[in-house]
């Protein structure tokens, strides 16, 4: 059996053949899809999870259940705010690839928890990069940073590409901008293989319920099955380039398989408003929505004249990102918007029918 010391002393090419991935944020939407993908590709997957008073492993339960018979995935308690544990985990796991997906990822919440968001999303990335160096593995480990279209913020150019200037509009966006640049700095300063994936919004049935798409599909399913009367939303005119999370985690992996590290936009090149997402979701359950009124007084009525959507300004953001549309030319991604909405609504209908309570 190879000892840890022998592994560390392997030349980088030989070290990488071991195919060991470490994922921060493995309990989140993307982490769960990425863990599945990497296990399928023959990786030994390790994930960092936060201690919680209740179970937070719902999205990876199906992988975790195999823990004893089929230990393709192992979980380690840790946190991006704790450098010591990061060094400890990396030195124990000796990963060949690290995917930094852990983050306080909610833009609206980042206005309420700005310092924490900066600590986790910004400095947390620095801690992880530095832990790799501390372990002497700067030339062995390939590093993926979950960068975001929120970096573009206030629109400078449409569509946005790898060369579009940044103008973040939230504490989340600003923290992610630090993470973006520290990743590039470590690549240049220490010759690390480190990449930024600048990902536009991506959704799935596993999307957190406080993000607008899943909030809508949960509500539409609950309304359809008579468990909820009305859905309250903020800015209906915001426009997003929504892809599918399953496609995007594949893009993350591909970025780490290039000969030289680089930064890539992942997007669909198609943009829709929140309002359109609402309409398509109601359509997926055989209903329709027509809009009346304007601004905060606007309502959405169904075919029977019942008010099903109202605006609640509590969901407005102090500074909004109005329009995000990615230019996917460099990395190439695919999407069928209608089938994304239908898949999410169908999954939530099954959930509500089985007793899930979303409101
Ligand atoms: P989620 O919010 O679903 O998941 C975030 C993950 O980060 C969870 O596993 C969460 O753990 C973990 N986490 C939160 N705080 C910490 C911390 N202090 N230390 C360690 N882990 C922590 O996000 P997504 O899966 O949607 O996104 C993955 C990454 O990609 C994030 O960095 C996000 O900012 C970024 N991104 C996402 C996009 C999207 O559209 N989904 C687009 C562009 C970028 P727990 O389960 O315990 O809360
Ligand atoms: P976003 O996603 O901020 O783009 O960040 P979110 O789904 O939260 O908002 C998208 C747009 O919808 C508008 N909106 C609402 N949003 C929420 N959450 N709730 C509402 O009720 C509501 N009504 C309207 C928002 O104002 C916004 O314009 C996501 C996250 O996954 C980030 O981590 C990631 O970096 C970016 O996508 C790309």
| Arithmetic mean of pLDDT over the chain | 95
Catalytic residue among 24, 148, 183, 333: 148
Distance from the Cα of residue 331 to its chain's centroid: 17
Q: Which tops the pLDDT comparison, 328 or 267? A: 267
Kindly indicate whether the ipTM for this predicted assembly is greater than 0.95, answering yes or no: yes
Q: Residues 66-90: what's their mean pLDDT?
A: 90
Residue 356 is predicted with a pLDDT of 87
pLDDT given at position 3:
85
CATH domain 4-199 topology:
Rossmann fold (3.40.50)
105 CA closest ligand 2 atom index: 33
Give the pLDDT score at 172: 98
Q: What is the pLDDT of residue 331?
A: 80
Contact status, residue 34 vs residue 99, Cβ threshold 8 Å: yes
| Rounded distance from Cα 210 to ligand 1 centre (Å) | 13
CA atoms of 135 and 124, how far apart (whole Å):
17
Identify the residue whose C-alpha is closest to ligand 1 atom 4. 28
Assess whether pLDDT exceeds 70 at residue 333.
Answer: no
- CATH entry, 212-240+272-320+337-353, from 3.40.50.1110, 3.40.50.300, 3.40.50.10470, 3.90.25.10: 3.90.25.10
Domain ranges of the chain: 4-199, 212-240+272-320+337-353
Catalytic residue among 33, 152, 172, 186: 172
What whole-number percentage of the chain has pLDDT above 90?
A: 89
Q: Which ligand is nearest to the CA of 55?
A: 1
Confidence bin at 69 (pLDDT 50/70/90): low
The predicted pLDDT at position 223 comes to 98
Q: Is any atom of ligand 1 closer than 6 Å to the C-beta of 222?
A: no
CA distance 291 to 300: 5
Contacts of 25 (CB under 8 A, 6+ apart): 31, 48, 99, 100, 101, 102, 103, 146
* Cβ(31) – ligand 1 distance below 6 Å: yes
150 flagged as catalytic: yes
Q: What is the pLDDT of residue 1?
A: 72
- pLDDT, residue 357, reads 83
Residue 335 has pLDDT above 90, yes or no: no
Task: Assign residue 269 a region (left: φ > 0; alpha: ψ between -120 and 50; beta: otherwise).
Answer: left
Taking the CA of residue 31 as reference, the ligand 1 atom at the shortest distance is 25
| Per-residue pLDDT tens over the stretch 180-199 | 999 999 999 999 999 999 99
Compute the average pLDDT of residues 262-279: 97
pLDDT of residue 352: 96
Those residues with Cβ within 8 angstroms of residue 48's Cβ, 6 or more apart along the chain or in another chain: 22, 23, 24, 25, 26, 75, 76, 77, 78, 79, 85, 86, 89, 102
Ligand 2 neighbour 203 (Cβ under 6 A): no
Residues whose CB falls within 8 Å of the CB of residue 181, separated by 6 or more in sequence, listed in order: none
Q: Is residue 125 pLDDT above 70, yes or no?
A: yes
Please report the atom of ligand 2 found closest to the CA of residue 176.
35
Model-level pTM?
0.97
Q: How far is the CA of 312 from the centre of ligand 2 (A)?
A: 15
Q: Which atom of ligand 1 is nearest to the CA of 106?
A: 2
On whether the CB atoms of residues 228 and 288 are closer than 8 A, the answer is no
């Amino acid at each position: 059996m190879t000892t840890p010391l022998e592994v560390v002393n392997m030349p980088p090419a030989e070290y990488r053949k071991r195919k060991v991935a470490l994922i921060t944020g493995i309990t989140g939407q993307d982490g769960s899809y990425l863990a599945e993908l990497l296990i399928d590709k023959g990786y030994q997957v390790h994930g960092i999870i936060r201690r919680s008073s209740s179970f937070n492993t719902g999205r990876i339960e199906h992988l975790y259940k195999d823990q004893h018979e089929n230990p393709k995935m192992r979980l380690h308690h840790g946190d991006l705010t704790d450098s010591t544990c990061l060094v400890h985990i990396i030195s124990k796991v000796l990963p060949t690839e690290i995917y930094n997906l852990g983050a306080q990822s909610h833009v609206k919440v980042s206005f309420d928890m700005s310092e924490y968001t900066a600590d986790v999303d910004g400095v947390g990335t620095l801690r992880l990069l530095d832990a790799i160096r501390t372990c002497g593995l700067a030339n062995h480990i390939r590093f993926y940073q979950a960068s975001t279209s929120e970096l573009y913020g206030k629109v400078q150019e449409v569509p946005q590409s790898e060369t579009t200037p940044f103008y973040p509009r939230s504490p989340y966006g600003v923290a992610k901008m630090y993470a973006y640049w520290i990743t590039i700095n470590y690549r240049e300063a220490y010759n690390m293989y480190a990449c930024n994936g600048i990902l536009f919004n991506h959704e799935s049935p596993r999307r957190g319920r406080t993000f607008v798409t899943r909030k809508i599909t949960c509500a539409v399913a609950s309304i359809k099955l008579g468990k909820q009367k009305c859905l309250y939303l903020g800015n209906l005119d915001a426009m997003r380039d929504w892809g599918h999370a399953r496609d995007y985690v594949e893009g993350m992996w591909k970025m780490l398989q290039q000969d030289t590290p680089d930064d890539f936009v992942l997007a669909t090149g198609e943009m829709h408003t929140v309002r359109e997402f609402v309409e398509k979701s109601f359509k997926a359950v055989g209903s329709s929505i027509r809009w009346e009124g304007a601004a905060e007084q606007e309502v959405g009525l169904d075919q029977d004249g019942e008010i099903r959507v109202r605006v609640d300004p509590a969901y407005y953001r102090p500074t909004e990102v109005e329009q995000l549309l990615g230019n996917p030319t460099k990395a190439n991604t695919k999407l069928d918007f209608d089938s994304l909405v239908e898949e999410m609504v169908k999954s939530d209908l099954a959930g509500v029918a089985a007793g899930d309570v979303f409101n």
